[in-house]
Amino acid sequence: MKESVYSICGMCAVRCPIRVEVEDGKVTWVEGNSNDSGMGTAICAKAAASIPFQYDDQRPQRPMIRDGARGSGKWKQVSWDEAYDYITDKLKTIIAEHGPKSIMLTDRGGPFADLRKAFMKAIGTPNYINHDCTCGRNANHACKSTYGMGRTGFAYDLKNANHIVLFGRNITESFKVKEVKGFLKGVKNGAHVTYVDPRVTNTAGKATRYWQNKPGTDYALLLGITNYIVANKLYDEKFVKKWCLGLAELKKFLKPYTPEWAAEETGITSDEIKAFCHEVDADRPKVIFHIGWLYSRYKDTFYASRMLNILNALMGNTEQTGGLIYPKTPKHADSSGLKSLSADIPDVKEPRCDSCDSDWDWYDNGAGMLQLAYDAIDTGKPYPVKAYFVHRHNPLIALPDPEEQKRILDKLDLLVSVDVNYSETSWYADIILPESTFLERDTILRTDKGPKPGFSMRRKCVEPFYDSKPGWQIYVDLAERLGKGEYMPYKSIEDIWKYQLQDTDVKIEDFSATGMVKLCDSPIGTSDDNIKFGTKSGKIEFVNKTWEDKGIESFKPYESPEAPPEGSYRLLFGRKGYQTHGQSTNNPVLSQLLGSNKLLIHTDEAKKLGISDGDTVTVSNGSKVGSIEAQVTDFIHPEAVFMLHGFGTDVPAQERAFGKGLADNAFMKGKLKDWDKAGGGLALNETFVTVKPAA
């Protein structure tokens, strides 16, 4: 019998709403959950590839304990009881010597992290951290320092925009399904799209204006743009007067940064810059400057991102159709929210190992700073960190310099990986706990913000194919064994759902029909009454005194990016539409589409080096050397080379991907320590490699 299960995709961290067809205990079809407005039924290739993934025998099938040196690939398969005993025995010893604060956990953040945060709080450690120092950290902190709220404090109303401005935001390949659908509707409706990237991408193909800037010069371009907009009053004077602080200081700071100056620095002509400024002036307030994501990997992208935030403010696009809209919460619908699973657990008084609550207290300590936690493992300061849980996170691919990381991880007494793959980090761990795939497990409820706020549910569609467990069960079991069961007293997922829903009028049955519950019947529209900023002044702060008191200047004078040393190129990276970071290259189906990554190099540079398209080339940075196929193209800036992220696995159990391509992060030597002290993001793009024909 065919049955529909409404659930939430888990093939990447976007977590789209889906409908899954199940027949005789097998998943036969996955599509978008069209009950969610803007979603429709179409989804991405990665989601479809979840079906063969469930049966993949190249993923961990039961718990495994290391039976040789770390990374040796020697494993002993064990029962769940043995695995739990192993972990709790080690943890008890570690806790006896160093206290519970010597335990840390990192994951991929997001709505389901609430359960892991509760586990950490229950066992008495403050050290929950997520991946964000390699993702949106600079952009997030830039938004906080201007608007007083995080990067996701606004939703972009792309489908109604007149102009969408994307600095390295490759929205059609590094996508979220709903967002890209909104973007394409905007394009169809005639929106202007300005796309800036040293590399031509699919998104450039959708743009009305494509600028190939010199890598690392976005801040200069933004200074030139803002200078011209401010000097010529091409902004919303009424909005700025009412809501923004620091215009005079901004104006003064921008003086030297004319479009002519920016042209010299970026390679984009001043006429083009000026034409763009007049165009956005005509298009506002329906203009969206995307505040950035992954382009924010340079030394100054906190400041570039701050300038994007300031430009949004100048457009007066807050809470405007076609602009930046507050995602409405349950509160807007007169409902309580989900109760946090941490709510009834006593606060942990210990300081954080990454010092985000002391030395770096202007940072958002919800996400923490993983690079500083690595320092703590390495140095034992501010205190020893001896046990590390890595959940749905793969630092040996996601953080730079795996060689240096392994040196540091070797100082741990316990490294636990909870994963669905033999990730590079699982392979280096002491123990692997296989989590059931998202098709095989329930998760805690999540809140959906938007015009119709509500909650949604990920449901188990089929029984686990291997001897795996859902994440919630793993942490509830471990809390119990560590004598903290009273804080996670759940016997079933229903117990957890009931706990989360206790302050609302919603019942578990309400999710059956569509997998989601909306808290209002008609969408909550935009209104000036909703405008509220999280800064001390309640305004958008071009000048932020609180941050200045911490030594973070509001306006940073521009410095040119370092020129690539003679014979070197700046290493750029990104992803493809049918790839999720490092976790798709061994997928039974996606591996066939992805094959190996290549090194994109400009035609003129390739000619100089005697490299032809398809040649094997040697790439190196210090002691790190590797070979890869060259793709010779006109579509990349001559100063840069590019490779897709997430390839080059060193895990032999990933048989389909092993030996294919190179890992970009392995060339980022020393980059664990190279990060932006203002924004907190790792400066991954400040990496240079030399390229030559393979011998």
Judge whether 618 and 627 are in contact, CB under 8 Å: yes
Distance (Å, whole) CA 435 – CA 63: 9
177 counts as binding ligand SF4 under rule CB under 6 A: yes
Distance (Å, whole) CA 434 – CA 467: 8
Collapsing DSSP to helix, strand or coil, 418 comes out as strand
Burial class (CB in 10 A: 0-12, 13-18, 19+), 463: exposed
367 counts as binding Mo ion under rule CB under 5 A: no
Q: Which residue is nearest to Mo ion (CB)?
A: 135
Question: CB 592: neighbour CB atoms within 10 A?
Answer: 10
The one among 235, 293, 555, 558 contacting ligand MGD by CB under 6 A: 293
Judge whether 628 and 634 are in contact, CB under 8 Å: no
11 counts as binding ligand SF4 under rule CB under 6 A: yes
667 counts as binding ligand MGD under rule CB under 6 A: no
219 counts as binding ligand MGD under rule CB under 6 A: no
Smaller CB separation from ligand MGD, 338 or 572? 572
Smaller CB separation from ligand SF4, 342 or 591? 591
How many residues interact with ligand MGD (rule CB under 6 A)?
Answer: 56
Distance (Å, whole) CA 163 – CA 160: 9
Orientation angle between helical segments 259-266 and 270-283, nearest 10 degrees: 120
576 counts as binding ligand SF4 under rule CB under 6 A: no
Question: Measuring CA to CA, how many Å separate 123 from each of 95, 346, 464, 469?
Answer: 10, 10, 28, 21
Closest Cα partner for 390 from 177, 127, 68, 53?
A: 127
CB of 51 to ligand SF4, least distance (A): 12
Burial class (CB in 10 A: 0-12, 13-18, 19+), 331: exposed
14 counts as binding ligand SF4 under rule CB under 6 A: yes
The one among 175, 303, 326, 363 contacting ligand MGD by CB under 6 A: 175
579 counts as binding ligand MGD under rule CB under 6 A: yes
CB of 297 to ligand SF4, least distance (A): 22
CB of 135 to Mo ion, least distance (A): 3
DSSP 76-122: EE--HHHHHHHHHHHHHHHHHHH-GGGEEEEE--STTHHHHHHHHHH
The one among 33, 127, 580, 654 contacting ligand MGD by CB under 6 A: 580
Distance (Å, whole) CA 361 – CA 439: 39
Residue with tokens 């590399």: 199
135 counts as binding ligand MGD under rule CB under 6 A: yes
- Strands 64-66 and 26-32, bridge-based pairing: unpaired
* Part of the chain binding ligand SF4 (CB under 6 A), chosen from 4-12, 101-109, 136-144, 267-275: 4-12
461 counts as binding ligand SF4 under rule CB under 6 A: no
| 169: partner contacted, choices Mo ion, ligand MGD, ligand SF4, none (Cβ within 5-8 A by kind) | ligand MGD
20 counts as binding ligand SF4 under rule CB under 6 A: no
How many residues interact with Mo ion (rule CB under 5 A)?
Answer: 1
419 counts as binding ligand MGD under rule CB under 6 A: yes
Main-chain dihedrals φ then ψ at residue 397, nearest 5 degrees: -110, -35
Alpha carbon of residue 448 to chain centroid: 18
Provide CB contacts within 8 A for 357, sequence distance 6+.
126, 351, 365
244 counts as binding ligand SF4 under rule CB under 6 A: no
135 counts as binding Mo ion under rule CB under 5 A: yes
583 counts as binding ligand MGD under rule CB under 6 A: yes
194 counts as binding ligand MGD under rule CB under 6 A: no
Q: Which residues bind Mo ion (CB under 5 A)?
A: 135
Q: Which residues bind ligand SF4 (CB under 6 A)?
A: 9, 11-12, 14-16, 43-44, 46-47, 176-177
Q: Which residues bind ligand MGD (CB under 6 A)?
A: 10, 12-13, 108, 131, 134-135, 167-170, 173-175, 196-199, 201, 213, 215-216, 218, 293-295, 391-394, 398, 418-421, 423, 435, 437-438, 572-575, 577, 579-583, 642, 645, 664-665, 668, 684-685
